[in-house]
Chain A
Amino acid sequence: MKHLLYRVRQLLSLAVLCCVSALANADAIKLGLSVDQLFESRVGVLNAIKSEAQKQGFEIIEVVADGDPQAQNSQIQSLVTQKVDAILVCAVDQNTIERALLGAKRKGIPIVAFDRALPDSRAVDAFVGPDSITDGYLAGQYTAQQLAQIDGNIQVLELLGALNDQNGIDRSKGFNDAIAELPNVEVIAMPTDWDSARALAATQNAFQANPDIKAVFAATDTHIPSVETVLYDIAKLHPVGSDQHVVVTGVNGSNDGYQATLRGNADGIVVMDLHTTGVTAVQLASALINGESVELNNVIPGNFYTTSNIEANKANIWGAQ
Chain B
Amino acid sequence: MSLKHRLSAVNWLPIAAATLVACILLSLLSSSFMSYTNLQSVLVQASVTAIMAIGMTFIIVTAGIDISVGAILFFTSSLFAKLMMDTGSYALAFACALLCATVLGALNGVLIIKYKITPLITTLATYTMYRGMAIHLTGAQNIPVPREMGFLGNGKLLSIPVPILLLAVVLAVGLYLFNATRFGLYARAIGNSAQSARESNLPVNKVTVFAYALGGITTGIAALILLARVGGLQSGIGIGIEFTVIAAVVLGGTKLSGGDGTIVGSVIGAIFLVLIDNGLNLMNASPYVYDIVKGSVLLIAVVIDKVSVTRQQQHLLNQRAARIRATG
* Minimum C-beta distance from A316 to chain B (A): 18
Check A163 against B288 for contact (C-beta < 8 Å).
Answer: yes
Check A204 against B235 for contact (C-beta < 8 Å).
Answer: no
- Give 5 new A-B contacts, CB below 8 A, not counting A201-B281, A208-B38: A40-B235, A160-B287, A195-B236, A206-B281, A229-B153
Return chain A residues, CB-CB under 8 Å to B41.
201, 204-205, 208
Check A228 against B231 for contact (C-beta < 8 Å).
Answer: yes
B255-287 near A? 1/0 per residue, CB < 8 Å: 000000000000000000010011001111011
* Minimum C-beta distance from A160 to chain B (A): 6
**A-B contact list, 29 entries, CB within 8 Å:** A38-B140, A39-B140, A39-B234, A39-B236, A40-B140, A43-B141, A66-B128, A195-B239, A197-B229, A200-B229, A201-B41, A201-B45, A201-B278, A202-B277, A204-B41, A205-B38, A205-B41, A205-B278, A206-B284, A208-B35, A208-B281, A209-B282, A222-B234, A226-B230, A229-B229, A232-B154, A256-B142, A256-B144, A259-B144
Which residues does B use to contact A, with CB under 8 Å?
A: 30, 32, 35, 37-38, 41, 45, 48, 128, 131, 135, 139-142, 144, 150, 153-154, 226, 229-232, 234-237, 239, 274, 277-278, 281-284, 286-288, 290
Return chain B residues, CB-CB under 8 Å to A209.
30, 32, 281-284
Q: Which of A15-23, A52-60, A183-191 contacts B (4 or more CB under 8 A)?
A: A183-191
Check A200 against B230 for contact (C-beta < 8 Å).
Answer: yes
Which residues does A use to contact B, with CB under 8 Å?
A: 37-40, 42-43, 66-67, 160, 163, 188-191, 194-202, 204-206, 208-210, 222, 225-226, 228-229, 232-233, 254-256, 259, 319
Q: How far is the CA of A163 from the CA of B141 in the complex (A)?
A: 24
Q: Which of B41, B140, B239 has the most chain A CB atoms inside 10 A of its CB?
A: B140
Return chain B residues, CB-CB under 8 Å to A201.
41, 45, 274, 277-278, 281
Q: How far is the CA of A131 from the CA of B230 in the complex (A)?
A: 28
A67-B239, A209-B32, A233-B154 as given contacts; A190 in contact with B231, CB under 8 Å = no
* Minimum C-beta distance from B52 to chain A (A): 12
Return chain A residues, CB-CB under 8 Å to B37.
208
Check B231 against A43 for contact (C-beta < 8 Å).
Answer: no
* Minimum C-beta distance from A58 to chain B (A): 23
Q: How far is the CA of A119 from the CA of B281 in the complex (A)?
A: 32
Of A66, A194, A196, which contacts B230 at CB under 8 A? Answer: A196
* Minimum C-beta distance from A212 to chain B (A): 12
Q: Which of A201, A205, A233 has the most chain B CB atoms inside 10 A of its CB?
A: A205
Return chain A residues, CB-CB under 8 Å to B141.
40, 43
Check A190 against B239 for contact (C-beta < 8 Å).
Answer: no
* Minimum C-beta distance from A74 to chain B (A): 15
Which of chain B's residues has its CB closest to A232's CB?
B154
Return chain A residues, CB-CB under 8 Å to B282.
205, 208-209
Return chain A residues, CB-CB under 8 Å to B30.
209
* Minimum C-beta distance from A206 to chain B (A): 6
A205-B281, A209-B284 as given contacts; A194 in contact with B236, CB under 8 Å = yes
